[in-house]
Structure 1
Amino acid sequence: MNRISVGDFAPDFILKDNRGQDIRLTDYKGKKVLLSWHPLAWTRVCAEQMQSLEANLAEFESYNTIPLGLSVDSYPCKNAWAKELGIAQVQLLADFWPHGEIANKYGLFREQEGFSERANVLIGEDGRVLWVKTYPIPELPDIAEVLNQIKGV
């Protein structure tokens, strides 16, 4: 599947968050949404990536942006992980079953490893993709770069 590109309409989805609530992308129409993909919970770089979303939540909100963390882990796993990391507000979504289906729709699923790329996808108020960046798996995304993309759009 082709990777999602700037200008594409972001595929809608319904995924459970770490609290077991159904989250639908189109429920955020009129807001920007940052889909911050990480390969697997319980790993150091992924933890730092998700903690950076939580630490900067007020700034995201000041730019009318909802940050969401996504991976192929199950929602009970993501709930335990969020508690361990002290993530109380940012929703961590479980692309668990069918395994990696949404990552695949966005062209971000790594079939050989069975998890997603490390990536950020910024979606505009109208549902179109504004920015896409993938990172080497061991690299922590620069939160300042992410916020600059949000501010510049």
Structure 2
Amino acid sequence: MSVKTGEKAPDFTLEANNGEKVSLSDFKGKHVVLYFYPKDMTPGCTTEACDFRDHHSEFSDQNTVILGVSPDPVDRHKKFIEKHDLPFLLLADEDHKVAELYDVWQMKKNFGKEYMGIVRSTFIIDKDGDLIKEWRKVRVKDHVTEALEYIKENL
């Protein structure tokens, strides 16, 4: 199953860094930036998370919540958040079921090795729960400002 823009975003429930179970449907009435990233504490993922942190208030001003998802466990998310003072929730998708639902759990190649992992991707979900924009195979540089501009211009 693959998600499509213009359709309802698949709902899910995952454990967040705060120890609570969080569902996408909890945020009805707000826009959601749902971003999938490979691994806490790695250079690209740290840069992306810190970019979201640095623009957090601007997203909030647009009635938008940021949710980060990776296969890392909650304890690792907690350390990542504490180390970089991240003001948004990180969700633990250890069995990569949600990543599969959004079709971001794919075969990857790195240094000649093939393995399954998260392909860095971002989804914008509007206040009614519809998927309205997606970026796949995201390059970190300038991505967060591009997402913010999209929200400002279209929502």
Q: Report the TM-score when normalising by structure 2.
A: 0.89
Q: Percent identity?
A: 28
Aligned counterpart, 2:124: 122
The answer for the alignment partner of 2:23 in structure 1 is 24
Question: How far apart, CA to CA, are the structure 1 residues paired with 2:85 and 2:30?
Answer: 25
Q: Give the CA deviation at 1:5.
A: 1.8
Name 1:143's counterpart in structure 2: 144
CA distance in 2, matches of 1:84, 1:30: 31
Structure 1: give runs of 5+ residues left out of the alignment: none
Corresponding residue for 2:111?
Answer: none
Secondary structure in structure 2 of the residue aligned to 1:34: strand
Within a 5 Å distance, the mapping from 1:18-97 to structure 2 comes to 18-87=17-86, 89-96=87-94
For this pair of structures, how many residues does the alignment match? 147
Of structures 1 and 2, the larger Rg is shown by 2
Name the aligned partner's letter for residue 86 of structure 1: D
CA distance in 2, matches of 1:28, 1:122: 13
- Does the alignment pair 1:105 with 2:101? yes
Residues 74/114 of structure 1: CA separation in 2 closer, same or farther (3 Å cut): farther
Contact 1:100 1:114 in 2 (8 A): no
Deviations 1:59-116 (A, max 9, x none): 00111100111111111111111111222x21111111xx100010111112563321
SS of the residue corresponding to residue 77 of structure 1 reads: helix
**TM-score, normalised with respect to structure 1:** 0.90
Post-superposition offset of 1:41: 1.1
Partner SS for 1:23: strand
Q: Kindly report the root-mean-square deviation, in angstroms, between the aligned alpha carbons of the 2 structures.
A: 1.4
- Alpha-carbon distance in structure 1 between the residues aligned to 2:117 and 2:74: 15
Structure 1 residue ranges (4+ consecutive) displaced by more than 4 angstroms after TM superposition: none
Q: Distance in 2 between matches of 1:70 and 1:43?
A: 14
Equivalence for 1:133: 135
Instruction: Specify every segment of 5 or more residues in structure 2 that has no aligned partner in the other structure, as ranges.
Output: 109-114
